[in-house]
Amino acid sequence: MVSKNLWDQSRLQVDTKSTMDNRHRDTQPRDFEWEHSSCSWCEENQTEPLFKGPDRLLRLPGSFQVVRCSKCGLMRQNPRLKWDSLQHYYPDSYPSYVKRSGEKTSRISRSFNQYGMWKRLRAIERYQSSGLVLDVGCGTGNFLDQVRQSSQWDAAGVEPSLRANQISRERLPFPIFHGSLEAYHPDPGTFDVVTMWNVLEHLPHPVDDLRHIYRMMKPGGLLVISIPNLESPAAGLFKSSWLGWDLPRHLYFFPRNLLVDVLHTIGFRVIDFKCIAGSHAALGHTLDFWSQDRLEADQQLRKTMLNIYNSFPFQVLMSLPFWVLAQLRLSSNITLFARKVDESTNGDDAIETMV
Ligand SMILES: [Zn+2]
């Protein structure tokens, strides 16, 4: 379900086979079932169409429409594939279902991945240093593997993909629930920390799921949500080629302030934003998508451009601008930290940092 490895992987895989695949892009998949949805936040049906796009990551057939809610501004795919049909767009080769920390990946790739997971846990430990963590959409368990290495944490996971779930169970000592988040019912007030690393945008009912998560958290508990950053320059510059859309797997697109309003209404207080994941890989994917259309006739030029982008000197050159973007919270991916308001103290202790 999750796409976190798209943001974390160290190197972009250069694939110049898209000429053949592009012929199928506008062919709607046969026998797949579609549905219309109302807004997950305000339940409004009226929308404003924004754009249509293909599956740029896996290049599976179909064209998918993004709309904006006329009432609240939340963006979503509409119509969208029904859940069972959508699963065809999560094959075993989907990046999050490939065990990146496993033996088949290179040492450099494993190191980058582990560094990304370490940064995530370190960011959490600024606010919470121990307790029980739930990783929603834990994939093959890369983040929970990092959690396992710190004795002050215990953990659990939820992962609907059977293959990813099995890998998680094999490598981790934690309970990993196989199924959707809405089918998972721990006791109320169970978790100190809940993490959603690039998961919210994949959920068909994200606001209901946030309410569900609220109930399973302890008062004062920490909620950590990574989402594509609609406010990033990459989103504005590359428009429909931006990685953050990842159609048809991404179903909802939250403007940052709207997500803050949603969380506050449910009973959370947002205490911080950070950009902690994968700027280089994210822009690499975006450049790949952008060039699929524009450089289709010149695959050699496309390959050269992407190879230069991936080269070590260019990565070093870009590290400063990416660092500056992250400090300005303008990377392609952003992480929100929120506390469940402790009603016994009127929430006063939860407001640690003004956003
Ligand atoms: Zn709405």
CATH at 46: 2.20.25
More confident site: 94 or 318: 318
CA 260 to centroid of ligand 1, rounded, Å: 14
Are residues 120 and 71 located together in one domain of the fold?
no
* Residue 234 CA, ligand 1 centroid: distance in Å: 25
Cα 230 to ligand 1 centre (Å): 17
* 240 and 178 housed in the same domain: yes
Compute, in angstroms, the gap from residue 40 CA to the centroid of ligand 1.
7
Same domain, 317 and 202: yes
Same domain, 73 and 120: no
Residue 320 located in a structural domain = yes
Q: Within this chain, do residues 124 and 257 fall inside the same structural domain, yes or no?
A: yes
Cα 196 to ligand 1 centre (Å): 22
pTM for the model: 0.87
Please classify residue 303 by burial: count the beta carbons closer than 10 Å to its beta carbon, then call 0-12 exposed, 13-18 middle and 19+ buried. Answer: middle
Cα–ligand 1 centroid distance for 35 (angstroms): 17
Please tell me the distance between residue 111's alpha carbon and the centre of ligand 1 in angstroms: 41
Whether 334 and 245 share a structural domain = yes
Closest CA to 283 of 302, 254, 256, 310: 310
| Residue 94 maps to a domain | no
Instruction: Please report whether residue 182 resides in a domain.
Output: yes
pLDDT tens for residues 285-306? 898 888 887 777 778 888 888 8
Do 148 and 59 share a domain, yes or no?
A: no
User: pLDDT at position 12, please?
Assistant: 37
pLDDT score, position 11 = 37
Query: How far away, in angstroms, is 77 Cα from ligand 1 center?
Result: 13
pLDDT tier, 104 (very low <50, low <70, confident <90, very high otherwise): low
Is the domain of 68 the same as that of 169?
no
Q: Does residue 181 share a domain with residue 280?
A: yes
Whole-number Cα distances in Å, 108 to 100, 101, 221, 232, 234: 11, 10, 35, 28, 26
Does 321 map to a domain? yes
From 156, 259, 119, select the one nearest 200 (Cα to Cα).
259
* C-alpha span between 112 and 8 (Å, rounded): 8
- Ligand 1 centre to CA of 46 (Å) is 9
Residue 161 domain flag: yes
Quick one: 59 and 123 in the same domain? no
Inter-helix orientation angle 312-327/299-310, to 10°:
70
State the number of CA atoms in the 13 A half-sphere of 80 facing the CB: 25
Does 343 score more than 90 pLDDT? no
What is the distance between the alpha carbons of residues 279 and 249, in angstroms, rounded to a whole number? Answer: 20
CA of 288 to the centre of ligand 1 (A): 32
Compute the mean pLDDT over every residue in the chain, rounded to the nearest whole number.
87
Q: Is residue 177 included in any domain, yes or no?
A: yes
Q: How far is the CA of 36 from the centre of ligand 1 (A)?
A: 14
Domain of 61, in residue numbers:
22-89
Which residue(s) pair with 68 in the sheet? 48, 75
Task: Give residue 202 CA to ligand 1 midpoint distance, Å.
Answer: 17
Tokens of 279: 């700027």
Count other Cβ atoms within 10 Å, centred on residue 46. Answer: 10
In this structure, the answer to whether residues 149 and 258 fall within a common structural domain is: yes
Task: Note whether 5 and 95 are within 8 A (CB).
Answer: yes
Residue 133 in any domain: the answer is: yes
Instruction: Note the pLDDT tens digit of each residue in 151-172.
Output: 999 999 999 999 999 999 999 9
Instruction: Please check whether residues 235 and 324 belong to one and the same domain.
Output: yes
Residue 334 CB contacts under 8 Å (≥ 6 apart), including other chains: 226, 227, 228, 229, 231, 232, 256, 273, 274, 275
Count the domains in the chain: 2
Catalogue the E-assigned strands of the chain: 34-35, 47-53, 64-69, 75-77, 80-81, 131-136, 153-159, 176-178, 191-197, 217-228, 252-253, 268-274, 333-340
